Amino acid sequence: MTLFQARSTLAVSADSRRPNANDPIVAPEQTISTMTAKICAPPLQERWPLWWKLSLGAALFLVLILVISIGWLFYAGIGIWGIDWPVVWGFAIINYVWWIAIASGGTFISALFYLAEVEWRNALNRLAETITIFAAACAAIYPVLHLGRPWLFYWLFPYPNVMTLWPQFRSPLLWDFVAILTYVVSSILFWYFGLVPDLATMRDKAVAPHKRRFYGVLALGFRGSESAWRYYHVGYGLLAALMAPLVISVHSIVGLDFAGAATLGWHSTLFPPFFVFGALLSGFAAVMLLAVPARRLLGLEDFITGRHFDILGKLLLTSSLCVGYAYLMEAFTNFYGPDAAEKRLFANKITGELSPIYWATILFNVLTPQLMWLRRVRLNEIFVVLISIAVIVGMWCERYVIVVMSLRRTHLPSAWGGYTPTIWDWLTLFGAVGLFIAGLLIAIRLLPAISMFEMREVILRNARRDR
Amino acid sequence: MSSVNAQWRSLEELMQDPDFVSRVEQEFPMLGAALSAPRDRRQALTLMAASLALAGAGLSGCDGAPEGHLIPAVRMPSGVVPGMPDYYSSAHVEGGYAAGTVVKHFMGRPIKVEGNPFHPASLGATSPIAQAELLDFYDPRRAWGMTQANLPRSRSALEQALGEQRDKLAATGGAGFVILTGASTSPTLAAQFDALRKSYPQIRWLHWEAVGRENAEKGVALAYGGRFELKPLLQDADVILAIDSDLLSAAPGHLRLAREFAARRNPTRAKMNRLYAIEATPSLTGAVADERFIAGPRETRRILLALAAALLGGAPVEGPPWLDRIVSDLRANRGRAFIHLGPDHAPQAHALVLAMNEALGGRQAVYTLLDAVTHASSDDSLSLASLVTDMRAGQVSSLLIIDSNPVYAAPGALNFAEALGRVEFSLCLSATPNETTAAALWAAPMIHPWEGWSDARAFDGTASVMQPQALPLYQGVEPYHVLGLLLRPDPPPALDLVRQTWNDRLGGAVGDAWIDALAQGVIPNSASPVSNRPLRDDAARAALPEPSSAATILLFRPDPYLLDGRYADNPWLQELPRPLSKISWGNPLLISPRRARELSLANGDVVRITLDGAHVTTPIVITPGQSDDCVVALLGFGRRHAGPVGRNIGVDFFELMGRSCAAPDIQKTGATEELAGTQHHAAMFDESGVYARSGALSQFLADPGFVRRSDEPQPSFYEWKPEGPAAWGMSIDLNACIGCGACVVACQAENNIPVVGKAEVLREREMYWLRIDRYYDGPPESPKVNFQPVLCMHCEEAPCEPVCPVGATMHDAEGLNVMVYNRCIGTRFCSNNCPYKVRRFNYFDFAGEERRAIESRNPEVTVRARGVMEKCTFCLQRIAAARIVADRDGETASAVVTACEAACPTQAFTFGDLAAKGSEVAARRAGPLSYALLADQNTKPRVTYEAHIFNVDKPEETQK
Amino acid sequence: MNAEAETLMAPNGLAASFLSEEASLAALARLEEANVGETRLFTPLAPERTPKPSRLPAVALALGLLGAGFAFGLQSYANVVAYPLNIGGRPPFSWPSFIPIAFEVSVLSAVLATIIGAGALCGFTRYYDPVDETRAIRDAMIDRWVIVVRAANSDALARSRDIMQDCDARVIEEAEL
């Protein structure tokens, strides 16, 4: 995008709600009362605007496609996908890694930065955690679909059985299985635990009896009594302290799925941190991407401000530099290492017939985010959206490079092959995107998009500071 | 009546009657399309099943079925032990020549073909085709009925018609009556022909093969004035010059020849022979040659003349520079040098080569002359061309075609079908409906060789009696019966005829000698006597015919597995990758790299070949090591009237055969066709030396262990010691492997490995447990070829095992990497982690969709379900059987022969117990040439290779 | 109705809502000093006052370690005792490969312990409390600090009403607690 266009786009979005460099974390005119009213309003309002209905319809259509393609998959077998000999892993694994990485952003922001006691995080953690649980849900379906005999997935559980068989615990796949299980369960619990006070607020804000009942049940009778708050505070801090290392370990283990194998292009100690970097990058990109429509459509400009975009932009830039470092090290290890087959594979990655995908990865994940050095770009919602999308696409390409391009070129040239995804591969990918979006839309329809009780802390602290 | 209707439908459907198809198309367009061109495996197999069902209805409607029916055994036949296999000798006949086989039965059902160690042409080995005969035996398309003008008739009606022919023969003395059949060595058939001639002096018969060896036979006749058989004795040949030769792949007795050749290829065990190959298009013989030279037809003629001048004296002829080396090598090894010329060269050339062999003094030493083994046609002047002329001229009133398919396989120029229309009575006997049965007036199903009594002779004349392996599955008539009907109304059964033939030799129709002959599969001392006939003086004088002067000459070669198309319906042979091109399910035109560059053609580009008037369109495949002067068309594909498996697969090049030798016009059409190859990387690969290691003999003599790297084997964390009584391992001698593919089909048959079909091969999902990798070294124009059979290495530290989350693959105490199908959930991680990529995954229910007769499967081996991984088990079922025997006898199992090892003609595989005292495999493993594939991966494979040594002085000649 | 009944029906508690934490805390301090009876504070966000140390982290740690031990033990038992296979020539007790799962399980059990523990201590699922009858409590989770007093006697009730008025409570209402 040339500078001229950039300027014009800036002009286009030039209105009062535009993010600004010296925005405060929350608009000063906001008091806890106004804030609560503003955030409770959308979920409580009776009718929802057209954009919501339309996008939910579209999302549900994609979900229908997902259901159909999964049904056909179970009926016909995974032969309907493009996987072959020797490329036995395909979209299922690519999509799985892609989603789980997107999920990570929420946990990073809400757990890590909670421990770091940064204020801006309070405006984003609800949104981020919601992204986490739905992305994790999307990720969780793929490992099962991936199996040749999905109906036997439960054999991964170490349960006592009449055959007296046990899982084989040396397999990184089993580590991964446990890690994902832990991650999904913990994320959902963390998310819900963080929701309880706001649900109580909703209960008390709601007028209609059925809504009071709905939120009342979910709020678990939380009243904000001092003692409750005290233990709640301890519990929440504890959870945050647990989630932070968990998310790191989960992505390291996903990295071990590959690094634990002797396969060319995978067998590298670089992978666990590499995958954590990738998770950071796509996680921040996803939060950034969704923060824009969230603030615009739900009128949260006062709470998700220029400061947030500024910070998120810097985070995106940082993680992209980390990922770039990983790419660099991969290249260096291949250049420096003794393994001829690895060298051959890497040469094929960067010059072979699929090299455009590799270079797209570099372009989207490393080069494009460099625009974030410019504050003006960080604060421009259109740029922010475009760059986030670029990164998210780029991360998918990266997994394609890792999974497919490595398997295409194994040790023995006689076993080299190709890979062409089928229509079912693509439908399963896009269907899951629909599932994710539908989940988010329903969530914002029912729940406060910003953690109000934590927002109150920010507002009061600011008020006190002003005095 | 309904069953009759069913029969009508079924017959028409089975015979692919075109207007039936058109009628179907009106009713069910999709089915019509399917019938006319089922390229997709699923479609095809469904149709096969359908035809089987309909055939069932068909049988019920037919009368005169042979006495005896297939019913489940209520009382156990004596000698049959449930769960224990039985073996019955038989023979696989190719071009008339027999190679002994032993058919393995379970509960009376044939399930596997093995070679017959007692048979001189087999020595225990088999060809891929012999293995695949099993599927032909169970082919549901054999269930069809007699037809007259493509309408169903009863067996009695046919016998009545033959009765009329008998009267006619008696009246005319046989004039105008011709029997057309393939090459035959059967003494019984010969006897029957003689009997026919005795009663009807004018009767004529023609032994015709679409891809025959009459050139060689005529050449022998020119050289020695008579019908003789040339029998090479390769074990004593030190220097062999093979010119466009099929010595190791198709020549009579090629299994034995390959064994004798390979016996002298490994310098650690024998004094190496040296093989020079001069050929226009790469062949198996050329692939294993020490030095291979490329020469187009014109150049080959000059080379022959130059050789003759050098060896027989006369005015010197200018040959290529490298020829002198060969000549001097031949001269230096007088008496131990042998020249072999391929069957595609003119008789005069063969005569010339025979003269040279005499001059080299190798007779009796490296080859002998035997009395002819094949049965002669009624008169030498009779050829297919002359027959067609007679048919056109109306001089043939009756034509009896037995087990031959001239309408498809006759040169297109002859237009046999049209001529056949002029014959008033024609009967075609064929196992399955084909182009000729559709064109002939009468057509009748012929029994499979396993269903009746017969006999056949090997390339050296040794005779075998072929006994029925089962009662006829489908009603079919025996050729002997039909011929017998021409003599008298109540011909004797084939068994009597065969016994008559061997009465005197075996002393009485019944007796131990007869039983022994059946048990052994050979009739002792029945080989042809060695002839002392001297060479005729004018043998070398015949002028060699001038080959075409065209820039590009179109050469025809039989497909190595479908031959002249008779096996086009055999899925195993269709899918078996061709040794050099590694292409299955098709016969693209072979074209040299330079010619392809000139025509700007890439693999799969479709070209249109026009040869005076006739034209075909075909995809091409660039063939390294082929002469630029020619393009090569493989015959046997493009069957229009075959079963769903073979119909319209590939291109029918017989169309272009017999045309004038004018230059073929090759035009790029712009269309492209995907080639179902099983080796997907670009042909050239520099580092292949690391995998299929090779070197020059001089290197070996200098440093026997030169192929091993210094860093092998590497240190390891774990030192796994076999706890079990045995430690199974295998050694593969790359010096012996000629890439023929017999092991692959044997493995497929033994282990119930499904065929996946062209569509799935295109998606790279073939299921072979054992594959033969082909590596090219050196320049595309003339590369060295290295074959390397790759199967599960049963690594002691197998990478596939730790990554399986459910422990579905693991090690047993004897070092086998075993696969537990029931436990597999299909994560496919094991395949990712296998550096050798020997694991295959059931992406669909391949075995279930195969719809092959369940009876034909090996009951000892699990048929794998959808969604599970599978791989080579070292023929675990055979090991288990050996264990049982060992337990019974209280010793440890050691003598186990895997399916691939048993089938291999050159004994490239050696399997056994590494721990056993003096075990062959352990010895080979310890040999200096032995190395492990991808040793740097430190997987400690139980399979090792012996590097390929080329008998040359300068390493660069091997392109190492 | 007679006097006796009146005393029975008389409200024994007060609920007052304040605009700021400071006000509420000041009121609370005075109420405690005056010792009017049991007082409770409801706030829309976690109170600033430094919370007393809790045993919850210790419990979570204990269960985390327990989970890790269990997971590691189970893996070792399965691969060494119950189902010892020769997997690629690796030793049955491949302890390094048991660590990741042990770690994940420990985190999971710690998380569950925290959620259950904290939930119980916070009184999750205690759906009814007499204070719910007051109007003031409705704002406790929105923007008011609410003090509820359970007066020991009618005199204490009167006293606490005065105190609240002094500390400019916005709403003061009587409640039966």
Q: Mind giving me the DSSP string for A388-416?
A: HHHHHHHHHHHHHIIIIIHHHS-SSGGG-
Select from A171, A410, A417 the Cβ nearest to the Cβ of B764.
A417
Confidence of residue B515 (pLDDT cuts 50, 70, 90): confident
Give CA–CA dist A30/A38, Å, rounded. 10
Contacts of A231 in chain C (CB under 8 A): 54, 56, 118, 121-122
pLDDT of residue A463: 84
Helices (H), A301-354: 306-336, 340-351
Whether omega for the bond prior to residue B713 falls within 30 degrees of 0, making it cis, is yes
**Cβ of residue B845 closer than 8 Å to a chain A Cβ:** yes
Distances (CA, A) of B13 to B18, B21, B473, B577, B895: 9, 8, 20, 30, 49
Burial class (CB in 10 A: 0-12, 13-18, 19+), B683: buried
Which of A147, A412, A418 minimises the CB distance to B691? A412
Chain C residues in contact with B940 by the CB 8 A cut-off are: 89
Cβ(C39)–Cβ(C148) under 8 Å? Answer: yes
Q: Quote the radius of gyration of chain C (alpha carbons, Å).
A: 27
Mean pLDDT of chain B: 87
Say which amino acid occupies B542. Answer: A
| Shortest distance, CA C73 to any CA of chain B (angstroms) | 18
Region C148-170: mean pLDDT is 87
B720 vs C85: CB contact, 8 Å cut-off?
no
What is the predicted pLDDT for the residue at B56? 39
Element (H or E) spanning B946, and its range? strand B943-946
Instruction: Name the 3-class secondary structure at C141.
Output: coil
As a whole number of angstroms, the distance between CA B732 and CA B738 comes to 12
Task: Please list every residue in chain B whose beta carbon sits closer than 8 Å to the beta carbon of residue A154.
Answer: none
Residues of C with Cβ-Cβ distance to A216 under 8 angstroms:
127
Residue with token string 């998918």: A396
CA distances from A264 to A344, B679, B827 (A): 10, 19, 18
Q: Are B508 and B483 in contact (CB under 8 A)?
A: no
Distance CA B832, CA B192 (A): 61
Question: Residue C141: which of A168, A182, A197 has the nearest Cβ?
Answer: A197
The pLDDT value recorded for residue B26 is 47
Instruction: Say if the Cβ atoms of C44 and A453 lie within 8 Å.
Output: yes
Query: In a 3-state reduction of DSSP, which class is residue C147?
Result: strand
Chain C neighbours, 3+ Cβ pairs < 8 A: A, B
Residue type, B705: G
Q: Is omega for the bond preceding A86 within 30 degrees of 0, making it cis?
A: yes
Which helix (H) or strand (E) segment is C65 a member of? helix C56-76
Q: How far apart are the C-alpha atoms of A458 and A187, rounded to whole Å? A: 24
* CB B269 within 8 Å of CB B924: no
CA atoms of C101 and A158, how far apart (whole Å): 12
Q: Is the pLDDT reported for residue B11 higher than 70?
A: no
Task: Compute the nearest-CA separation of B845 from chain C (Å).
Answer: 28
Residues in Cβ contact with B923 at an 8 Å cutoff, skipping those fewer than 6 apart: none
Which of C83, C89, C97 has the CB atom closest to B720's CB atom?
A: C89
User: Chains with 3 or more CB pairs closer than 8 angstroms to B?
Assistant: A, C
Rounded to an integer, the average pLDDT of B763-774 is 94
pLDDT tens sequence across B420-470? 999 999 999 999 999 999 999 999 999 999 999 999 999 999 999 999 998
The single-letter DSSP state of residue B530 is B
Question: What is the mean predicted confidence (pLDDT) over B30-52?
Answer: 43
Gap between the Cα atoms of A404 and A97, Å rounded:
13
Mean pLDDT of chain A: 91
C141 chain-A contacts, CB cut-off 8 A: 197, 200-201, 203-204, 222-224, 453
Distances (CA, A) of A201 to A41, A411, B669, C170: 12, 61, 75, 19
Count of CB atoms situated within 10 Å of the CB of A438: 20
Q: Distance of alpha carbon C166 from its chain centroid, rounded?
A: 30
The SS3 call for residue B617 is strand
Q: Mind listing the pLDDT tens digit for each residue in B54-80?
A: 443 333 333 344 455 555 556 666 777
Rg of the Cα atoms in chain A: 23
What is the mean pLDDT of the segment spanning A226-233?
A: 90
Of A169, A178, A203, the CB nearest to C78: A169
Is the pLDDT reported for residue B4 higher than 90? no
Q: Which among B889, B760, B841, B601 is positioned nearest to A146, based on CA atoms?
A: B841
Neighbour count for residue A343 (Cβ, 10 Å): 13
SS3 B202: coil
The answer to whether residue A452 neighbours chain B at the CB level (below 8 Å) is no
What pLDDT is stored for residue B34 in this prediction? 41
B660 by DSSP, 3-state: which? coil
The shortest C-alpha distance from B811 to chain C (Å) reads 5
Residues in B touching A148 (Cβ below 8 Å): 824-828, 841-843, 866-869
Tokens describing residue B124: 């225990």
- Provide, as residue numbers in chain A, all residues whose Cβ is less than 8 Å from the Cβ of B792: none
Q: Looking at beta carbons, which residues of chain B come within 8 Å of C93?
A: none
- List pLDDT tens digits, range B874-930: 999 999 999 998 888 887 777 899 999 999 999 999 999 998 888 999 999 999 999
Cross-strand pairs, B86: B105
For chain A, the distance separating the N- and C-terminal CA atoms, rounded to the nearest angstrom, is: 45
**Residue B844 reports pLDDT greater than 90:** yes
Cβ A424 vs Cβ A72: under 8 Å:
yes
- Cβ–Cβ gap B828/A89 under 8 Å: yes
- Coil, strand or helix at B92: strand
What does the alpha-carbon distance between residue B205 and residue A71 come to, in Å, rounded to a whole number? 63
Minimal CA–CA distance to B185: which of B444, B493, B501?
B501
pLDDT, tens only, A366-423:
999 999 999 999 999 999 999 999 999 999 999 999 999 999 988 888 888 889 999 9
Q: Which two tokens stand for residue B429?
A: 């006997």
Torsion of CA B408, B409, B410, B413, to 10 degrees: 70
What are phi and psi for residue B883, nearest 5 degrees? -60, -45
**How much is the pLDDT for B546?**
85
Question: ∠ CA(B521), CA(B524), CA(B525), 5° rounding?
Answer: 140
Calculate the dihedral angle through the C-alpha atoms of C158, C163, C165, C168, rounding to the nearest 10 degrees.
-160
What are the backbone dihedrals phi and psi of residue A440, each rounded to the nearest 5 degrees, phi first?
-60, -45
Global confidence as pTM? 0.90
| Long-range contacts (CB closer than 8 Å, 24 or more residues apart) made by A351-359 | A352/A405, A352/A409, A354/A401, A354/A404, A354/A405, A354/A408, A357/A397, A357/A400, A357/A401, A357/A405, A358/A397, A358/A401, A358/A405
Tokens of B18: 């075109």
User: Is pLDDT at B31 greater than 70 in this prediction?
Assistant: no
Dihedrals phi, psi of A262, to nearest 5 degrees: -90, 10
d(CA B907, CA B124): 10
Q: Given C41, C85, C127, which is nearest A226 (Cβ)?
A: C41
| Distance (Å, whole) CA C5 – CA C2 | 6
Confirm or reject contact between B788 and chain A (CB < 8 A): yes
pLDDT over 80 (residue B781): yes
Residue with tokens 């036995």: A88
Cα gap B576→B755, rounded to integer Å: 9
* Cα nearest neighbour of A235 on chain C: C118
Identify the pLDDT of residue B45: 45
**Which residues, in sequence order, are CB contacts of B21 under 8 Å at separation 6+?**
B32, B35, B36
Q: Is the pLDDT confidence value at B20 over 50? A: no
A98: pLDDT strictly greater than 90: yes
How far apart CA B86 and CA B519 sit, in angstroms, is 12
- Which residue from A201, A234, A223 is spatially nearest to C123, judged by alpha carbons? A223
End-to-end CA distance of chain C: 22
Residues contacting A164, CB < 8 A, separation 6+: C82, C83
**Which tens digits make up the pLDDT trace of C128-150?**
988 888 888 888 999 899 999 98
Task: State ipTM.
Answer: 0.91
**Structure confidence at residue B29 as a pLDDT band (50, 70, 90):** very low
Asked if residues B203 and B378 have their Cβ atoms less than 8 Å apart, the reply is yes
List pLDDT tens digits, range B855-875.
899 999 999 999 999 999 999
User: Distance, in angstroms, between A220 CA and closest chain C CA?
Assistant: 4
Query: In chain A, which residue's Cα lies nearest the Cα of B680?
Result: A417
Q: CB count, 10 Å around CB of A33?
A: 16
B108/C111 Cα distance (integer angstroms) = 66
Flag if C87 and B813 touch (Cβ within 8 Å).
no
- C142: nearest CB among A158, A201, A457: A201
Q: How many CB atoms lie within 10 A of CB B615?
A: 14
Once rounded to an integer, what is the mean pLDDT over residues B359-374?
94
Q: How far apart are CA B887 and CA A296, in angstroms?
A: 80
Tell me the nearest-neighbour CA distance from A389 into chain C, angstroms. Answer: 32
Mean pLDDT across the stretch A211-224? 93
Question: For residues C107 and A94, what is the distance between their CA atoms, to the nearest angstrom?
Answer: 26
